[in-house]
């Protein structure tokens, strides 16, 4: 576990936004490495394609860009080769606050356990606080971080797409926002982390009488077994509508979803393992329930 997390304390709170307490143990960046913000998009992309994830798992093919709302921190060795990376980008809003997302966090195998992960996390924390960027979220797959409290934990499931059967209708983002607003009026505890400006979102609606299902599917920028993976990051339902309807969405060979979105009458969705959402710089009483949107 990174020393960064050992020095981070999340308090139980009734507040939506509370700064995380931090007392990081002393550490040293591995000798011979340089940490700096980078604009070398092709080199960083190739590094992530080669080093992110586990052998046999999905291959990350990220869409990186040069933007005032996107910071990419890299570690390079003495030869100038990238050996670590982490990205911080504006993704959504929540109760009037800009929410950033940390992703593309990757350390080359030879440097894992060396302290480089801690150096990347701490340096990014300092850079973002200097820019008054205070609120971000971090997705951790697999085991939870010992001693830390995620604001949401669940299990991922996946299934191959199928063009047969009823089709979901694509709808514009502004209509999806209106539908979500209506849903949230009836269910005021619904968590809605979303920005209409996020270009990576596609909304779909199915309606049959009073039964409805509308979802957001994002490009996960991951490929597996020759096909792209669509990431279902928002789901709202009235009545009994199976999530299998999302398998009709074009452009993807797989749909990757939170298991809690399943209605109970679907079949053959396969478990992909646990996941956990953390606040990187803050803690919160935020606890999503069965239907929510975390569109990053």
The domain boundary residue, chosen from 118, 144, 170 = 144
| Whole-number Å distance between alpha carbons of 26 and 4 | 10
Q: Are 158 and 255 in contact, with CB atoms under 8 Å apart?
A: yes
The residue to which tokens 């990014």 are assigned: 124
pTM higher than 0.85:
yes
The domain boundary residue, chosen from 114, 144, 174 = 144
pLDDT of residue 1: 46
CA dihedral 25, 29, 31, 36 (to 10 degrees): -170
Domain membership flag for residue 280: yes
- 165 and 112: one domain? no
pLDDT of residue 269: 96
pLDDT of residue 167: 84
| Whole-number Å distance between alpha carbons of 153 and 173 | 27
Taking every pair of Cα atoms in the chain, the longest distance, rounded to a whole number of angstroms, is 65
- 196 and 257: one domain? yes
C-alpha triplet 25, 29, 33: angle, nearest 5°: 170
The domain boundary residue, chosen from 144, 165, 184 = 144
Tens-place pLDDT, residues 52-94: 877 777 888 888 888 888 899 999 999 999 999 999 999 999 9
Low-confidence ranges of the chain (pLDDT < 50): 1
- 46 and 73: one domain? yes
Tokens of 49: 């394609």
| Whole-number Å distance between alpha carbons of 229 and 270 | 14
- 165 and 251: one domain? yes
Count up the domains in the chain and report the number: 2
- 181 and 290: one domain? yes
- 207 and 281: one domain? yes
Domain membership flag for residue 83: yes
Which of 220, 193, 202, 210 shows the shortest CA–CA distance to 294? Answer: 193
| Whole-number Å distance between alpha carbons of 116 and 121 | 9
Domain membership flag for residue 219: yes
For every residue of 217-279, DSSP letters joined together read EEEEEEEETTEEEEEEEEEEEES---GGGGGG-TT-SEEEEEGGG--S----PEEEEEEEEEE
- 243 and 164: one domain? yes
- 140 and 221: one domain? no
| Whole-number Å distance between alpha carbons of 237 and 215 | 9
The domain of 267 spans 154-294
Domain membership flag for residue 149: no
Residue 18 sits in a domain whose CATH number is 3.40.630.30
């Amino acid at each position: 576990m990174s020393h960064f997390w050992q020095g981070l304390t999340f308090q139980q709170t009734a507040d939506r936004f509370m700064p995380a307490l931090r007392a990081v143990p002393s550490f040293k960046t591995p000798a011979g490495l340089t940490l700096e913000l980078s604009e070398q998009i092709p080199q960083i992309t190739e590094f992530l394609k080669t080093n992110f994830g586990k052998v046999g798992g999905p291959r990350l093919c990220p869409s990186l860009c040069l933007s005032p709302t996107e910071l990419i921190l890299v570690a390079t060795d003495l030869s100038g080769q990238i050996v670590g990376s982490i990205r911080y980008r504006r993704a959504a809003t929540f109760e009037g606050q800009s929410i950033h997302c940390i992703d593309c966090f990757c350390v080359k195998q030879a440097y894992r356990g060396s302290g480089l992960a801690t150096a990347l996390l701490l340096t990014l924390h300092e850079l973002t606080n200097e820019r008054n960027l205070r609120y971000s979220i971090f997705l951790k797959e697999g085991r939870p971080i010992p001693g830390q409290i995620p604001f949401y934990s669940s299990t991922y499931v996946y299934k191959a797409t199928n063009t047969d059967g009823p089709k979901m209708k694509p709808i514009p983002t502004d209509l999806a926002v209106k539908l979500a607003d209506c849903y949230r009026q009836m269910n005021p505890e619904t968590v809605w982390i979303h920005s209409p400006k996020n270009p990576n979102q596609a909304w779909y609606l199915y309606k049959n009488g009073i039964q409805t299902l509308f979802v957001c599917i994002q490009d996960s920028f991951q490929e597996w077994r020759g096909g792209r993976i669509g990431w279902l990051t928002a789901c709202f339902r009235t009545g009994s509508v199976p999530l299998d309807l999302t398998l009709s969405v074009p452009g993807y060979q797989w749909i990757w979803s939170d298991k809690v979105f399943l209605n109970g009458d679907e079949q053959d969705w396969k478990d992909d393992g646990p996941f956990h959402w953390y606040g990187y710089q803050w803690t919160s009483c935020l606890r999503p329930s069965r239907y929510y949107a975390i569109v990053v």
